[in-house]
Amino acid sequence: MINLEAPKKAGALINQAYQAAAEVFRPISRKYDRAEHTYPAELDMFAALLDGLNSSGEGGAGAAGVRRSKDEPEKGNRNGANLNVVLGTIEMCWGDVGLLLSMPRQGLGNAAIGSVATDEQLKRFSGLWAAMAITEPGFGSDSAAVSTTARLDGDDYILNGEKIFVTSGERADAVVVWATLDKSKGRAAIKSFVVEKGTPGFEVVRVEHKLGIRASDTAVLRFENCRVPAENLLGTPEIDTAKGFAGVMQTFDNTRPLVAAMAIGVARAALEETRRILTEAGVDIDYDRPAHTQHAAAAEFLRLEADYESAYLLTLESAWMADNRKPNSLQASMAKAKAGRSVVDIALKCVELTGAYGEESLLEKWARDAKILDIFEGTQQIQQLIVARRILGKTSAQLK
């Protein structure tokens, strides 16, 4: 049986992440929402501190990847790095999700490297800040439709293509780029490559203006005859049609719970602020009385809180399964789908419940930040499609 309470040994990490969110992120949240495209210089010192925590084994507040040892013997149930990262991310995003996404060396590309890189690559790319580049102008949610190409030429791959909506695409030191080795062989030919800034043929075309997470940069990238060393291909270069898309898709099993955790942090922030405003307005939220016998605002708040709890528990389950060497693709998609949908509903309803207090209290900002959490790392509709395939035992060709 899975105990979905936060483990006691994670208490110190949760407290550290909360203090950082309260003392570093929350005070500058509005400043960098208004100063879009300005790098938050306050993050440099904090990132160095986080690096120290991670290297000491006490970290978990960043978007680092988690490796699963194939040689490790079964030792019973355990709570490990996946759960720690999720719990830390929740606290940090209670402070500000855009600022977490701006943290040096905590990009989603780092999660990809940490999840699927070889030991040699992991060591070589240590300390690198990596963004993730998947989406292209010709497709959004269908990751298998990647058209950026990678052609082997001697000891290098030559990349050609364009990527859009790349979080930290301008600021990061490198980008993990999804490209196909052979379009005719379908999903199995899609591989990921670490492309470092300054590589000839790699261009940042522009940085986008956004509705939310404005502290974080979102870029359009272009690769034109970009020559990348062959050893920068993550994982194996072999095209295994039997294994299919599993290699690169493994990254999502780790990053989708992280995005769910981001959503949970934002939702909790909105609920706590709404409770404060309602209490000051004289609305009593009573857990011992049926919702229909209470003030309409209190009844709605109780519904939102229940929605939050279900998303929170699904996310902890998906992280726990990864820690215990259990396939978690279904649970990762369920957590991402639920948390992404819930945070949008919760944030918008909180603005509705509190009315004119929204901008003064950051509620309107959280409502703007929330929507992207239902979109990136796979939209709501894609997550539901993945869940349906898993439950019904259908392939992607059978259920589109």
Q: Which helix (H) or strand (E) holds 163?
A: strand 156-167
Q: Between the CA of residue 188 and those of 47, 117, 283, what are the distances in Å?
A: 36, 17, 56
Angle at 129 between CA 128 and CA 131, to 5 degrees: 130
CA 36 to chain CA centroid, nearest Å: 20
The helix/strand count (H/E) of the chain reads as 12, 7
Q: Between the CA of residue 77 and those of 3, 226, 320, what are the distances in Å?
A: 10, 45, 9
Length of the chain: 400
Separation between Cα atoms, residue 33 and residue 263, nearest integer Å: 18
Active site includes 377? yes
Separation between Cα atoms, residue 13 and residue 59, nearest integer Å: 7
Which residues lie closer than 8 Å to 113 by C-beta, 6 or more apart? 65, 121, 122, 125, 128, 130, 176, 194, 234
Would you please indicate which residues are annotated as catalytic (active-site) residues?
A: 377
